[in-house]
Amino acid sequence: MKVTIYKITNRINSKAYIGITANTMKYRFEEHIYRSVKGGKYKINYAIRKYGKENFDIEMLTTTDNKEHALLIESENIKKYDSFDNGYNMNEGGSGLLYHTDDTKKKMSDNNHWKGKKRSGIDNPMFGREHSEESKKVMSEKKIGVFAGEKHPLFGKHHSEETKEKMRQKAVGRPSARKGKKHSEESKKLMSEMKKGKLVGINNPMYGKRHSEDTKEKMRKPKNLGCLSSKENLHHSEETKEKMRQKALGRPSPRKDVILSEETKRKMSETKKGKVSWTKKWLVTFPDNHQEEIDSMAEFCRKYNLNRGNMSSVASGRLNHYKKYKVILI
Could you read off the pLDDT tens digit of each residue along the chain, which spans 330 residues? 789 999 999 999 999 999 999 888 899 999 999 999 988 889 999 999 999 999 999 999 999 988 888 889 999 999 999 999 999 998 888 665 455 556 666 666 666 666 666 667 777 777 777 888 888 887 877 777 667 677 777 788 888 889 988 888 888 877 777 777 888 888 888 888 777 777 777 777 778 888 888 888 888 765 544 444 444 455 778 888 888 888 877 777 767 677 888 888 887 777 766 555 555 788 999 999 999 998 888 889 988 999 988 888 888 888 888 999 999 887
**Contact in structure between 15 and 30 (CB atoms under 8 Å):** no
Domain assignment of residue 315, given as a range: 282-329
pLDDT at 142: 74
Residue 87 lies in a domain: yes
Residue 232 lies in a domain: no
Question: Rounded to the nearest 5°, which phi and psi values hold at 109?
Answer: -65, -40
**Among 71, 102, 133, residue at a domain's last position:** 102
Whether 324 is covered by a domain: the verdict is yes
Q: How far apart are CA 15 and CA 62, in angstroms?
A: 19
Could you tell me if residue 14 is inside a domain? yes
Is 318 part of any domain? yes
Tell me the CATH number at 45.
3.40.1440.10
Answer with the one of 82, 102, 122 that is the final residue of a domain.
102
Three-state DSSP state, 283: strand
- Among the candidates 52, 73, 102, a domain finishes at 102
Give the model's pLDDT for residue 168: 86
Count of domains in the chain? 2
- Amino acid identity for residue 45 in this structure: N
Q: For residue 5, what are the β-bridge partners?
A: 20, 62
For residue 55, give every residue at least 6 positions away whose Cβ sits within 8 Å of its Cβ, in sequence order, or none.
10, 11, 12
pLDDT of residue 231: 46
pTM for this entry: 0.34
Strand order in the sheet with 326-329: 291-294, 282-285, 326-329
Q: Smallest Cα–Cα separation from 65: which of 22, 7, 28? A: 22
| DSSP states along 143-174 | HTTTTSGGGSTTTT----HHHHHHHHHHHTTP
The CATH number of the domain holding residue 300 is 1.10.10.10
Whether 316 is in a domain gets the answer yes
Domain-embedded: residue 234: no
pLDDT at 18: 94
Tell me if 127 is assigned to some domain.
no
Strand partners, 293: 283
